[in-house]
A and B are shown apart, each in its own frame.
Chain A
Amino acid sequence: MIPLPLIEKGKSVKIQKISGGRGFSLRLMDMGIKEGDVVKIINNSQGSLLISLENIRLVLGRDAAFRIFVKYAKE
């Protein structure tokens, strides 16, 4: 498992684990991001990350993103 911010731009990854507080993971779930989802990194060059899941574009602060562990999705 790799923390999300270490993934380079353009790669798709599967969310393995969301750690760091229930509030945080519940918030993400409310917005439609949960364990098992495949997300794509759109921008990872200016601190916070921009990820996409289907039509959703989500900005995650770098600290927040370090609480999300992923593995590379098989294309």
Chain B
Amino acid sequence: MCFKIALAGNPNSGKTTVFNLLCGANEKIGNWSGTTVEKKQGILTYKNQKIEIIDLPGIYSLSAYSIDERIARDFLLKENSDLVVCVVDASNLERNLYVVIQLLELGVPVLLDLNMMDVVEKNNIYIDIEKLKKVLDIDIVETVASQSKGIEILKDLILDNLKRKKSQGFKIDYADLEIHIEKIIHLLSEKNIGLEIPLRTLAIKVLEGDNDIFEQVREYFPQITEYKRQAEIEILKNHGDDLETFMIETRYTFLKRISDECMKKDASVKEVTNFSDKLDGILINKYLGIPLFLFFMYLLFQLVFTIGNPIAGLIDSFFSNLAEYVKMFCQNNNFPSWVGSLVSDGVIAGIGSVLVFLPNIMLLFMGISILEDSGYLARAAFIMDRFMHALGLHGKSFIPMLLGFGCNVPGIMATRTLESRKDRILTILINPLMSCSARLPVYVLFSSVFFPKYQGVVVFSLYFLGIILAILVAKLFNHLFFKSEITPLIMELPPYRIPTLRNISLSIWSRSSIFVKKAGTIIFLSVVLIWGLSSLPFGCEYAGEDSLIGKFGQLIAPIFKPAGFGFWQAAVALFFGIIAKEVVVGAFGTLFGASETGLNSVLVQYFTPLSAYAFLIMILIYIPCIATISAIKRETNLKWTILAISYSLILGWLLSVLVYQIGSLF
């Protein structure tokens, strides 16, 4: 039998580190059904017992605001896991326990993991574990996950708790409200409404204004509305509060009592300004904040390219040698010529051209996970808040945009932490304008041929243009579709932490493996498709004007004439670039029948510097790649997806035509 347990807790409590320690690389990343929110599952095998562990998104309470939180809440409420391990930041005990006592009220079996005990010690806080155990009536384990301390005990206790399931009778006394809770329990006990939640919990959730549950209950008991109203009136009369506020305050009072009883702070030690605050004094300083942020970004991209490119070169030559070898092999063994062509020109060259980017992508994800884990990314959101305000968004939306420079798909997925629908949709719509790493090879190829002296400036101008367009598009769409409803920004800044090697390498591994998988599936198929269309009909010149692909290209090429690149090869490259932007470079290679090194001399016959720049603008803006389109579709709906595709195509075409036509005047 396989047990199922869940990890829950506040954001930044070290939950993921605990998860990584329990499961190692033995994890599976999928999606929560119906969303693209990452669902992390892992298997822990301990003392011959298999235990499935689910890492839930961080939550502050069981009320749900963002999609992330709704998923965690629904899981905790509706799926019966055998145990919930609550990981809490023990240095923030009172507040972190809030969600713990809510879980206890639910009646789910809880094991409490007091994490970050090193910080507790450093702050001269003493926690009376035994007493806390007694008050909450659950097992407690102390850990320092960042140093792998206490994990063995945690595993033991998990096993122990699973073997002897005990029912809990945890209760918070809601004073004046108790009589109403009793009444509702009495009412609910009349009929089974098919929710596997204890009646008291149900009553509490109803009073607390949990809409989902309230509606479900009302279907069976229409009189519940009246019951709730009576409770509301009484609490308002006696306490001057609405129900929710009253209940939250009761819980906090309860927590305050616990922390007074179980926690002592050595007041004799004077509190020194802590390290995080000192660092914040510099990093989010009014004058230094933005320059430092830009400097870090510069450093990140330098790292990605200076270290990544030489390794990429090695991979590239490996694949071209392999293709050459396979071709020879097929010839020597008298295979039909199309077999050798398919395997080497198609499959190896195609997949190779994508896998070349693996080092860059791994480095980028390394940089991003360092920024994330160290706590700096949240600061970046704070620093850029004012700038984002100009777009009708707020600082939190900046994180997905930054991730978009790596790849738009994780960028779009990161919008799930935004609470308001408007913010999510706007941020998703402009995300493709952030130049992702797949577009860079195209920029590099063209700028090295046509603007060898100003390569840096040209590439930078494209990144910059993307940002400017994102601002304008966000403002326009905000005006057109949302009429500037403003959502309040509330965001917690985690303390700075040194990222652990383990977490970073696991994060690189899990994200890069998705990329490799993509190369093996989508890219593989599209490459075979391009190859096939270039070789058919039989007997035509490979990738010549009379091949299917040539005919197809000639059909759409006239559209791009006003932009200066109205020949069929460019049209084909753009079309297949929709599959993945990396394909554009490879497609030119195949179509012009030249290796990428020889491409330079061919390109100058087709492009002028002006039309080359117009082409790059098109590459920057036009239709997002398939992976991005499907991410947009999953996160929003068909309407917004169509908007994203059409606005980018129209904008890209207009701007490249504009640049070419105006440029031609001089």
Q: Hey, which bits of chain A sit against chain B, CB under 8 A?
A: 20, 22-32, 34, 42-43, 45-48, 50, 52, 54-61, 63-64, 67
Binds A, one of B90-98, B543-551, B601-609: B90-98
B490 and A46: CB pair below 8 A? no
CA of A45 to CA of B290 in the docked complex: distance in angstroms? Answer: 13
**Chain B 83-118: CB-based contact to A (< 8 A → 1; otherwise 0):** 000000101101100100000000000000000000
CA of A56 to CA of B493 in the docked complex: distance in angstroms? Answer: 8
A45 and B248: CB pair below 8 A? no
Residue of A nearest to B289 (CB): A46
Contact partner, A34, options B63, B249, B383, B493, Cβ 8 Å: B249
B490 and A28: CB pair below 8 A? yes
CA of A16 to CA of B149 in the docked complex: distance in angstroms? Answer: 42
Binds A, one of B127-135, B181-189, B276-284, B316-324: B276-284
Contact partner, B382, options A24, A29, A59, Cβ 8 Å: A59
Determine the chain B residues whose CB is within 8 A of the CB of A47 once the complex forms. Answer: 385-386, 389
CA of A67 to CA of B95 in the docked complex: distance in angstroms? Answer: 22
A29 and B492: CB pair below 8 A? no
**Chain B 265-283: CB-based contact to A (< 8 A → 1; otherwise 0):** 0000000000011001000
- Interface Cβ pair total, 8 Å cutoff: 105
Name 18 A/B residue pairs within 8 A (Cβ), A-sorted: A26-B248, A27-B65, A30-B63, A30-B98, A31-B490, A32-B60, A32-B98, A42-B277, A46-B286, A46-B382, A47-B389, A48-B394, A55-B89, A57-B492, A58-B492, A60-B488, A64-B489, A64-B490
CA of A64 to CA of B490 in the docked complex: distance in angstroms? Answer: 8
B488 and A67: CB pair below 8 A? yes
A60 and B489: CB pair below 8 A? yes
Determine the chain B residues whose CB is within 8 A of the CB of A67 once the complex forms. Answer: 488
Taking A42-B280, A48-B382 as contacts, is the C-beta distance between A58 and B245 under 8 angstroms?
A: no
Taking A26-B244, A34-B249, A42-B280 as contacts, is the C-beta distance between A50 and B488 under 8 angstroms?
A: no
Q: How far is the CB of A61 from chain B (nearest CB, A)?
A: 3
B245 and A29: CB pair below 8 A? yes
Interface size on B, residues (CB 8 A): 40
CA of A26 to CA of B251 in the docked complex: distance in angstroms? Answer: 13
Contact partner, A43, options B63, B244, B284, Cβ 8 Å: B284
Is the CB of B2 closer than 8 A to any CB of chain A? no
CA of A30 to CA of B249 in the docked complex: distance in angstroms? Answer: 10
CA of A43 to CA of B385 in the docked complex: distance in angstroms? Answer: 13
Determine the chain A residues whose CB is within 8 A of the CB of B94 once the complex forms. Answer: 32
Determine the chain B residues whose CB is within 8 A of the CB of A60 once the complex forms. Answer: 488-490
B92 and A30: CB pair below 8 A? no
Determine the chain A residues whose CB is within 8 A of the CB of B490 once the complex forms. Answer: 27-28, 31, 58-61, 64
CA of A57 to CA of B378 in the docked complex: distance in angstroms? Answer: 11
Contact partner, A57, options B249, B389, B394, B495, Cβ 8 Å: B495
B248 and A30: CB pair below 8 A? yes
A56 and B277: CB pair below 8 A? no
Is the CB of B254 closer than 8 A to any CB of chain A? no
CA of A53 to CA of B495 in the docked complex: distance in angstroms? Answer: 13
Is the CB of B242 closer than 8 A to any CB of chain A? yes
Given A26-B63, A46-B284, 5 new contacts (CB under 8 A): A28-B490, A29-B248, A47-B386, A48-B395, A59-B381
Residue of A nearest to B492 (CB): A58
Q: How far is the CB of A52 from chain B (nearest CB, A)?
A: 8
Determine the chain B residues whose CB is within 8 A of the CB of A31 once the complex forms. Answer: 60, 95, 490, 492
Is the CB of B252 closer than 8 A to any CB of chain A? yes
Determine the chain A residues whose CB is within 8 A of the CB of B175 once the complex forms. Answer: none
Residue of B nearest to A66 (CB): B488
Q: How far is the CB of B172 from chain A (nearest CB, A)?
A: 15
Q: How far is the CB of B358 from chain A (nearest CB, A)?
A: 36
Contact partner, B95, options A22, A32, A52, A59, Cβ 8 Å: A32
Contact partner, A59, options B60, B65, B491, Cβ 8 Å: B491
CA of A50 to CA of B389 in the docked complex: distance in angstroms? Answer: 16
Contact partner, A50, options B60, B242, B284, B394, Cβ 8 Å: B284
CA of A72 to CA of B61 in the docked complex: distance in angstroms? Answer: 30
Taking A32-B98, A34-B252 as contacts, is the C-beta distance between A26 and B488 under 8 angstroms?
A: no
CA of A54 to CA of B492 in the docked complex: distance in angstroms? Answer: 13
Which 10 residue pairs are nearest across A and B when measured between Cβ atoms? A61-B489, A64-B488, A32-B95, A47-B386, A30-B61, A57-B493, A45-B286, A59-B491, A30-B60, A48-B385
Is the CB of B540 closer than 8 A to any CB of chain A? no
CA of A23 to CA of B420 in the docked complex: distance in angstroms? Answer: 12
**Chain B 62-95: CB-based contact to A (< 8 A → 1; otherwise 0):** 0101000000000000000000000001011011
B492 and A59: CB pair below 8 A? yes
Is the CB of B29 closer than 8 A to any CB of chain A? no
Is the CB of B486 closer than 8 A to any CB of chain A? yes
Taking A30-B98, A42-B277 as contacts, is the C-beta distance between A50 and B248 under 8 angstroms?
A: no
Q: How far is the CB of B385 from chain A (nearest CB, A)?
A: 5
Residue of A nearest to B69 (CB): A30
**Chain B 325-359: CB-based contact to A (< 8 A → 1; otherwise 0):** 00000000000000000000000000000000000
CA of A46 to CA of B382 in the docked complex: distance in angstroms? Answer: 9
Residue of B nearest to A55 (CB): B92
CA of A58 to CA of B490 in the docked complex: distance in angstroms? Answer: 7
A56 and B248: CB pair below 8 A? no
B488 and A61: CB pair below 8 A? yes
A50 and B492: CB pair below 8 A? no
